[in-house]
Structure 1
């Protein structure tokens, strides 16, 4: 009985402390700008669990194929995308174990690419990077290694070192250290039919490469370029200056390097510019580029670049650029530090025979590769999205809504194992939902399966799949389906489901006036109130409560963009939020405390009753108090030896309603 007395004291006396702990990682009700509207309850729709936890994993997936390749430590898995069963397993342990110089002798797979009609795989190979060409089963063998290659410059020596890879029309581009300490890092064309080309040493300073992307020009393939996104050490050593500067660079796909006399095997078209994300008018910038997602468009100029940045004040921002805007800087800006006439052809120009470029043009690329002007975002004066969440990865899906318009959905991974689904509709972001995928590990890999509308997420212990068409979350009524502003979902007579032509939506502002009224039918649609919604009787809970005891009421939070209130006796009071519940505390039951209590939510123009409680007085007489002791405690430091029956009832009611214990 002592245990329950302590619970009672904590529950009644330290409620505010408990409330603050509960809200530590929970959105604040009614706050729309930086909080998800919905916290998803159902975790994932499928996935794969590793036998042994992986420190590192890499995904390879092509949208027209039914399988995905996953690289871990000493293996590559070929997984079926529908049910994640293993189709094939390629064991790739480190070779030459006796030559491992330090650390565990493991082969951590870092690169998986389709290259020259085979699967090209590279790994750390016990600090001796190696690459292999893999083919599928032959003569009942589980795998076949056709050839192996020295992998320095393609794979890092350790998975913790910086690297990236890209294949373009049979050529392999990569950035990986040339030395075991992680140094001599640069972007190269490392293998394929074209000449091997690399960077001039002075072009970058301690770079961290983030991403590389080939942007097609169907009508002008000779002018196609490869864009490299990275951050590098700031040359400004002022204590107030940020130590990092974010960059975009580009090289021509047709670049074969300079002549034998000058710049042989060195990029002749390399240019770089500062990538700006922040508030230029206040000189306040997010300077640390974290991740990049490139959304390709039919017109190369409309290709969108989504950059994820962090700042020195622990905030994260998303800025959006177009390749057309980036090219505008490279084609028209002056060259930083150069004040003479610009030679012809202009440095950075793509030519079929780069070895024939004039010395003056190539010399300018060598000495003055940086543009004076900066690349600003589409929104120019401010980032598209700013958050206190520590986002680490970004993907962007494009969805055609019921109104036939295309909408972009940002999928942002946090460092605490969550995915935020953010609508880009105009200049204002709208966080549709938050899905918690893991509470004990961070997201290491992320791949968008746009064809199936799923997001594949890698953790150290598993691969999880997020269904992006989670329309059942908004299936209570037409209004809730519309308020979600989720382009993946629309309201039909069957409820809220994947978007179909003619479905009811209002993606741009979420106003629910598009929904049919409660009584009438419109175009064959029925409101959810008429079909599957809960009746008032289903919402109601009756309780008999004695006089003089504290009592708590609780209702679930359906939307973190709504405002919740408790209505009783013609008066309303705000709710106390604890995690995903709204609470109402009655410190001590009195005669006026009895009656009906309604938990009401209001979001935009939509109001609904979430929960109803009917409290009635419980008449009882306590004739005898039974104790466990025959003697009272000798001092005040001892807990009470007994609890009256009335306290037991109060605790039982509170536990039943609140669901705490």
Structure 2
């Protein structure tokens, strides 16, 4: 969840139901509930009659089926990342310590340029400019006595009874407030100078969860910790609390206030100093909880916002959130944005709900149309309340306080900006989001969203002219583990992203502008951080340059017509006896919208059996002299119904009959077999690079290669069955209904000197190709 300064536009993912909380007294008065998957009017009642129950199940099944189909259609042509960076292709900085795990708590101090990392039994202080440089390390282990007591209660002594650091908050310039759990939460003060704990060992109940797997959130506001977590060992008593030395406060345990919540995020929104109503600062808690408004077949989770008013500066923020459907097998994620003014309007002017029992109805809460006491319940203290001599929420009349207790929910819904999601993505589960506000060269401001996934990837996306564009996808973690925490530095000259997971922390720049080697590629990326410098012929990060010149080329709309000339990149391609493999992995970066191959200026028909178009290669079968000529690989991208083409590679293929009269040409061995193939580097001046193929009419050689291939295949089959000859029956593969198999670049030869020797291969194939299965019935947590 991200809070940004004011933006006048608005976005929408519909949110039914609100409730709030007192100023200074964290009694939940109004929550804002946001519903992405299901609207209130679509919910069905739960009947005791068996026939009615069957009808209900059938209706629910039909509803969810139709809903899933509609969502599939909605995202069928949704945005896809223009470029995908593999883990090894970009410059990322990693931090990991042996025998340390769960790097899930991050705190960035930009004044000190330090990234604090809370892991299992360790707290690190890292250089924020290069997290590979460790500045301090503090081990914070659980005593043997506490670990034994934890194990006696039925928890794992090796995992659950360890100290997982869950709270890292900046108290002041000298101390951090830190909390760990091990099923007995403890908090302490970390001295930033000596990097030692103060030894206070305060009770952490209500500030930190007991179980490291339980949800929690916290924020430090003026040296007071506001937190949302569970209060007991079983995790059955959720609370929102304010912890201070003067008057600690917490919510009462009541299902209408917090019903099995899953806390996500908390942040403070400062009151406007120029405001005439004199309202207090506000703390917002974002979470999901089981709905209390309706009865349903199962537990219906509703996203909500709770507001806690603080007794005394941002402009109107925009709140971004990621949403996933409650049905895990749907496979969708959404990003929604909300203007804070819309939220505030529901709190200040919206209708309340009250509990009611309605016969033959699934509805358990209805709109309240009665008299509303003054001061308004849930409103923060302002000048009007102070004029009535109510200086704090503790002074409010009993009538107002009782109304808050009986009416914790608001009836009105909060809709996203534009009444729709900013982004809906199929086959991905988003986990975290941070947003940066960037000013492009033309002065336009864009919200750049960085969204992490449960597969260790990061999507960078922007919205423009009612559209959405995913600039790139970066694989942060090579083992495809979920990103648990995501932070963004706000320094304009040095912007980095920090991602935490179970195995370590990754530092990434916000843009990889230097990866774009041509003007067209730089502009078509539509990245607000990047611009093309014509004089230097390079793509640069505009925020790392001392001066930005007017003749730099940048167009977020994707108009690359300002680029003069195209830079053709060429590469020598390897040849084998079945054809030519043109590998463009190093010719261009990423995968454009479409790759087109041309032969003698005609587009190749890839559906023909003569050609096979792989992800990053072209295979030509049954070569003959008629295949000689110029081959071009072009990328095509369509932006606003305008097509841009760019030559990625161009090379010439010549096929000549083999003649034994010429002893000057040296043969180049081919992987897995010998042949009469020859490579020549001499080319006419008009062609910068050339590849030649000498074809032999020796039918005996072809027969020998044919028999050799099948003998190798038989050997591989026999080796693969050895493991089952001991009587063990092999388990059949799970039939998932569909399979995905990556393309294998077998036969690929790298360009090298003609006389260079080849390495011997033990196996006939040089690329390992793994077959992956996918099953939509399996939940992908």
TM-score (norm 2): 0.65
Distance, in Å, in 1 between the alignment partners of 2:249 and 2:295 is 38
Q: 1:225: Cα distance to partner? A: 1.2
Residue of structure 2 equivalent to 1:186 = 239
- Would the aligned equivalents of 2:612 and 2:618 in 1 still touch at CA under 8 Å? no
- Would the aligned equivalents of 1:306 and 1:318 in 2 still touch at CA under 8 Å? yes
Residue of structure 2 equivalent to 1:108 = 164
Deviation digits for residues 421-477 of structure 1 (CA, Å, limit 9, x no counterpart) = 111334322101111112312222221112121101112222111111311121x22
Question: Where do 1:600-611 residues align within 5 Å?
Answer: 600-604=634-638, 605-611=643-649
- Would the aligned equivalents of 1:32 and 1:561 in 2 still touch at CA under 8 Å? no
2:311 to 251, 254, 267: 254
- Would the aligned equivalents of 2:106 and 2:118 in 1 still touch at CA under 8 Å? yes
Secondary structure of 2:469's counterpart equals strand
Secondary structure of 1:655's counterpart equals coil
Residue of structure 2 equivalent to 1:6 = none
Residue of structure 1 equivalent to 2:549 = 502
Distance, in Å, in 1 between the alignment partners of 2:505 and 2:91 is 10
Distance, in Å, in 1 between the alignment partners of 2:713 and 2:531 is 62
Residue of structure 1 equivalent to 2:521 = 480
Q: 1:567: Cα distance to partner? A: 0.9
Distance, in Å, in 2 between the alignment partners of 1:93 and 1:542 is 57
- Would the aligned equivalents of 2:114 and 2:126 in 1 still touch at CA under 8 Å? yes
Residue of structure 2 equivalent to 1:92 = 140
Q: Would you say how many aligned residue pairs link Structure 1 and Structure 2?
A: 552
2:81 to 36, 39, 46: 36
- Would the aligned equivalents of 2:528 and 2:556 in 1 still touch at CA under 8 Å? no
Q: 1:164: Cα distance to partner? A: 1.1
Confirm or deny that 1:555 pairs with 2:580. Answer: no
Secondary structure of 1:481's counterpart equals helix
Confirm or deny that 1:445 pairs with 2:492. Answer: no
Secondary structure of 2:111's counterpart equals coil
Confirm or deny that 1:348 pairs with 2:378. Answer: yes
Deviates more, 1:196-205 or 1:326-335: 196-205
Residue of structure 2 equivalent to 1:416 = 455
Distance, in Å, in 1 between the alignment partners of 2:605 and 2:513 is 29
1:208 to 262, 273, 287: 262
Q: 1:550: Cα distance to partner? A: 4.8
Deviates more, 1:501-510 or 1:490-499: 501-510
- Would the aligned equivalents of 1:52 and 1:461 in 2 still touch at CA under 8 Å? no
- RMSD after superposition: 3.4
Distance, in Å, in 2 between the alignment partners of 1:426 and 1:199 is 46
Distance, in Å, in 1 between the alignment partners of 2:92 and 2:229 is 36
Distance, in Å, in 1 between the alignment partners of 2:594 and 2:121 is 52
Question: Where do 1:135-154 residues align within 5 Å?
Answer: 135-138=191-194, 143-154=196-207
Distance, in Å, in 2 between the alignment partners of 1:236 and 1:578 is 57
Deviates more, 1:552-561 or 1:606-615: 552-561
Distance, in Å, in 1 between the alignment partners of 2:305 and 2:411 is 13
Residue of structure 2 equivalent to 1:231 = 288
- Would the aligned equivalents of 1:129 and 1:151 in 2 still touch at CA under 8 Å? yes
Distance, in Å, in 2 between the alignment partners of 1:625 and 1:386 is 56
Change (3 A) 1:55 1:483: same
Q: 1:626: Cα distance to partner? A: 11
Confirm or deny that 1:583 pairs with 2:597. Answer: no
Change (3 A) 1:574 1:420: farther
Distance, in Å, in 2 between the alignment partners of 1:172 and 1:483 is 46
Structure with greater proportional strand content: 1
- Would the aligned equivalents of 1:171 and 1:193 in 2 still touch at CA under 8 Å? no
Change (3 A) 1:559 1:83: closer
Confirm or deny that 1:156 pairs with 2:209. Answer: yes
Q: 1:496: Cα distance to partner? A: 0.9
Secondary structure of 1:324's counterpart equals helix
1:132 to 161, 169, 188: 188
Distance, in Å, in 1 between the alignment partners of 2:703 and 2:531 is 61
1:616 to 654, 664, 669: 654
Residue of structure 1 equivalent to 2:176 = 119
1:78 to 125, 129, 134: 125
Residue of structure 2 equivalent to 1:595 = 629
Distance, in Å, in 2 between the alignment partners of 1:578 and 1:112 is 55
Change (3 A) 1:654 1:174: same
Question: Where do 1:309-328 residues align within 5 Å?
Answer: 309-311=323-325, 312=327, 313-328=330-345
Confirm or deny that 1:539 pairs with 2:579. Answer: no
TM-score (norm 1): 0.76
Question: Where do 1:434-473 residues align within 5 Å?
Answer: 434-440=473-479, 441-451=481-491, 452-473=494-515
- Would the aligned equivalents of 2:103 and 2:505 in 1 still touch at CA under 8 Å? no
Q: 1:501: Cα distance to partner? A: 2.6
Q: 1:64: Cα distance to partner? A: 2.3
Change (3 A) 1:579 1:446: farther
Secondary structure of 1:375's counterpart equals coil
Q: 1:81: Cα distance to partner? A: 1.3
Confirm or deny that 1:339 pairs with 2:369. Answer: yes
Deviation digits for residues 345-384 of structure 1 (CA, Å, limit 9, x no counterpart) = 111122332222122211211111211110100111x211
Distance, in Å, in 2 between the alignment partners of 1:508 and 1:171 is 43
Q: Which has the higher contact order (CA 8 A, sep 6+)?
A: 2
Secondary structure of 1:614's counterpart equals strand
Change (3 A) 1:497 1:187: same
Secondary structure of 1:582's counterpart equals coil
Structure 2: unaligned runs, 5 residues or longer? 1-75, 355-367, 382-390, 656-693, 717-743, 752-764, 768-781
Residue of structure 1 equivalent to 2:93 = 46
Change (3 A) 1:543 1:154: closer
Confirm or deny that 1:490 pairs with 2:517. Answer: no
Secondary structure of 1:209's counterpart equals strand
Q: 1:512: Cα distance to partner? A: 1.0
Q: 1:99: Cα distance to partner? A: 3.0
Residue of structure 2 equivalent to 1:569 = 600
